[in-house]
Structure 1
């Protein structure tokens, strides 16, 4: 880091949950998009229990950035050291440590240390990076605290499911329909507006207006990471309805010898305090899980059927070619 502007930061928060619970939330990076607000998607590349390497897409300072990180986990000491292999600009180096200390009364202290650098003379970059790191660190610690403190109920608040549709058509056309989300209002009457920006190839910022059965309109905002060579689009809703504390998902197109399977996957963290305000007095967690399963699954299945029609009707029949 010779000649670079090296900065160090440290943030701590006390958590009303056992230290082991807090550490477990940190250790599983695949769940971070549900538990860590800036995280959009984590693509695990290698993991052997103590060494973790993954690709990360995250928001920082109002933009979406990505990098590859390595982590060294020490479960006995409850520490995780990390560094970015190729830092996201304007950083020229980024690393740090998570620490979880056990406190009395079944509580824990979670601490996040950062050390980062920018190029010499890049005062604006250094200022932006410091501000983005500060904002993200506070958001991460606050949501991790909130999630960990629900640890006795967390299994019930987490929901994961998928739906699939079989397609007799080219996988490229299925993917094309899923990618061209700006066109969805022409096919789905409940979607009244879809605004997409893609300033960085493969990273879409989506604002979607959806009309409910009672005539009200819900506006959601998402970041979508498009991986065409893998036939996948992963996303996270950055603006969610009241019942959902977090919602991530994936569209995938899986070809085989006889056709294509199009799959919609959802992962949800429910917000317990919103169950009765949203679903009515007396509503419980089981009803909330069923409501979310039906509403999200129904909406994505309709999209899958439209993607199937798009792919199958675009393929000329043998008689038509003659």
Structure 2
């Protein structure tokens, strides 16, 4: 079927310096924390100016998918409806095209993955992108982000996207409207993230926990991969719903009591599993009240005598929830310590049980 190129371009004012906004666009590896719809970004090649990326992004009903794996479908349906107003629904914005490249393929209708090439132009604050693997009409094929100063602490953010549409498509007007809406959604996501620029150093935290295991990496990975079995293995996990329509892409809903005071916290996440690399990357699509964004990775570093397992976290705090959750007068520094201790306690407990699982299995086989 013949196709035509449809181009759409829009701009939006942003309450942040142009350099801050450009830096956010250029640093695609950190997009999972800044942009709700982005699950994970792998930088495959970079020479300082040109880069090749592989990106994963949320699509349509990802936020509700894990609940479909549970038996309590009535409660799940209500939660899914509520998510239209929270960060989980925000994460589904723009599933029809790529933030800097477009969706090359939607896996299981929930997570899109594609490759993109980008050229960074810091002198004019522009990022030019081109998608390598468009697979259907309507996919974004190329475009450019641009940032223009509009004062010391303001700028104008622009996005132009080009996509291929069938020439004789009966729903051509609808497709064009969706393409226009996608540009607006992406601009809104960046504008919202950039609006926090004055407090980003306080709102963002990255940390990791690690444990040394004298056992095979395969057993450790298997424990971490089988998250659906954690309620019977990991004390702080009360319930886990897992859906894996496509091998290696898990949509998970989790109830855990690792938070201080033992209260139950419900989260949802997308997990990308790479068994040959010994990695499981995840992005929460529904976070706890104190957390605006949370992504992380379980990674295995094997050697001749065992394996070191690392649990890495990247978190953005939700500033407006700090006083409500931790009490009036609580500062961001205290909130950072609180969240780090809570997440670290949960990951350390999980790592310890993975260690016990691998090492005790080896002892039984000796």
Same fold (TM over 0.5): yes
Which string of whole-angstrom CA distances, capped at 9 and with x for unpartnered residues, describes residues 60-84 of structure 1? 3332010110011111111111011
Answer whether contact 1:18 1:102 (CA < 8 A) is retained. yes
Answer whether contact 1:99 1:110 (CA < 8 A) is retained. yes
Stretch deviating more after TM superposition (122-131 or 59-68) = 122-131
Answer whether contact 2:254 2:268 (CA < 8 A) is retained. yes
State the distance in 2 between where 1:73 and 1:50 align. 5
Answer whether contact 1:38 1:58 (CA < 8 A) is retained. yes
Determine whether 1:69 maps to 2:116.
Answer: yes
Q: Provide the aligned C-alpha RMSD in A.
A: 2.3
Q: 1:289 aligns with which of 333, 336, 357?
A: 336
Answer whether contact 2:140 2:161 (CA < 8 A) is retained. no
State the partner residue of 1:165: 211
Q: 1:150 aligns with which of 196, 209, 225?
A: 196
State the partner residue of 2:47: 48
Instruction: Look up the SS of the partner of 1:242 in the other structure.
Output: coil
Stretch deviating more after TM superposition (138-147 or 255-264) = 138-147
State the distance in 2 between where 1:114 and 1:10 align. 6
State the distance in 1 between where 2:41 and 2:233 align. 31
State the partner residue of 1:28: 27
Determine whether 1:107 maps to 2:106.
Answer: no
**Count of aligned positions:** 317
Distance change >3 Å, CA 177–CA 126, structure 1 → 2: farther
Which string of whole-angstrom CA distances, capped at 9 and with x for unpartnered residues, describes residues 126-153 of structure 1? 957963x556544432232222222222
State the distance in 2 between where 1:69 and 1:123 align. 29
State the distance in 1 between where 2:171 and 2:273 align. 30
State the partner residue of 1:266: 313
State the partner residue of 2:145: 98
State the partner residue of 1:12: 11
State the distance in 2 between where 1:64 and 1:316 align. 40
Stretch deviating more after TM superposition (12-21 or 84-93) = 84-93
Determine whether 1:192 maps to 2:238.
Answer: yes
State the distance in 1 between where 2:244 and 2:176 align. 23
Which string of whole-angstrom CA distances, capped at 9 and with x for unpartnered residues, describes residues 201-239 of structure 1? 111101111235556432111010011111000000011
- How many Å apart are 1:5 and its aligned residue? 4.2
Distance change >3 Å, CA 201–CA 141, structure 1 → 2: same
Answer whether contact 1:38 1:139 (CA < 8 A) is retained. no
Structure 2, gaps ≥5 residues long: 62-109
Determine whether 1:178 maps to 2:177.
Answer: no
Structure 1, gaps ≥5 residues long: none
Which string of whole-angstrom CA distances, capped at 9 and with x for unpartnered residues, describes residues 245-267 of structure 1? 11000001110122110110000
Q: Give 1 or 2: higher strand fraction.
A: 1
